[in-house]
Homo-oligomer: A and B are copies of this chain.
Amino acid sequence: MTQPAYLRIADELRRQIVDGRLGPGDRVPSRHQLARDHGVSDRVAVEAVRLLVSEGYVESRSGSGTYVRQRPTVKRLTRSWYRAHGRADSPFRADMEAQGRAGTWRSSSETSTATPAVAERLGVAEGDPVMRTRYTFLADEQPVMLSTSWEPLALTRGTPVMLPESGPYAGAGVVARMRAIEQTVTLASEIVTARAILADEADELGEPMGAIVMVIQRTYSGDHPVETADIVVPVDRYELEYVIPVD
């Protein structure tokens, strides 16, 4: 039994990419080219290219061509027990500074009600009022990470920290903000999963469809949960490092 033609062609291109004969940004031969070069039909070349797209090697721009993807260098996000030690700064900005990059973000907040999942994570009743804040994190002006955070309004309503990103504690991070209203955070729980990227996330992060993201469900708590967030991290931009003391 012989290899299907589309696999052979995909294989040859893949090899050229991994050993550098085709570098990031280079144009891959068009479907016509590939078909002619290998003596097969257009249709077969389509399948070959489609495979490489789904594997993340190349990216097709309609009307223009197919290009080898820029593989952004993978940076490491350290999420350890010694985070935020004595700093009054946001964890994200600190992470970016450690990499010599400018970390900023956009955000928008609105009041909302707790969905079943959020209610369980915050330990409140379904439908209870919460402040929902969506973040887009930028490294050197480029969106690199998304997050949606929920805080129980029962805790923050009427305090200076009700809006996470305005007032005296804007940008200070959850732990510092909660300390300002006498809520001591002692524990962060991060539940890590991964899934395929969603269309709107791909759009915002400039990732191709089919990319993989890790989702961190982070919950800060003291006597009870004070904030929970879904953090969406593309795997081709970041890896997560957890440092765990043993015994």
Contacts and interface: CB of A to CB of B under 8 A. Distances in A.
Nearest to A43: B43
Contacts of A189: 241-244
A159 interface: no
Contacts of A56: 196
A190 B220 contact: no
A191 B79 CA distance: 10
Contacts of A235: 193-195
A interface, how many residues as a size bin?
35 or more
A73 interface: no
Given A81-B244, A83-B244, A245-B81, A192 B55 contact: no
Contact of A187 (B83, B196, B245): B245
Given A194-B235, A195-B212, A212-B212, A246 B54 contact: no
A179 to B, nearest CB: 10
A74 B220 CA distance: 22
A31 to B, nearest CB: 17
7 contacts: A76-B191, A84-B246, A185-B246, A187-B246, A192-B240, A192-B241, A194-B212
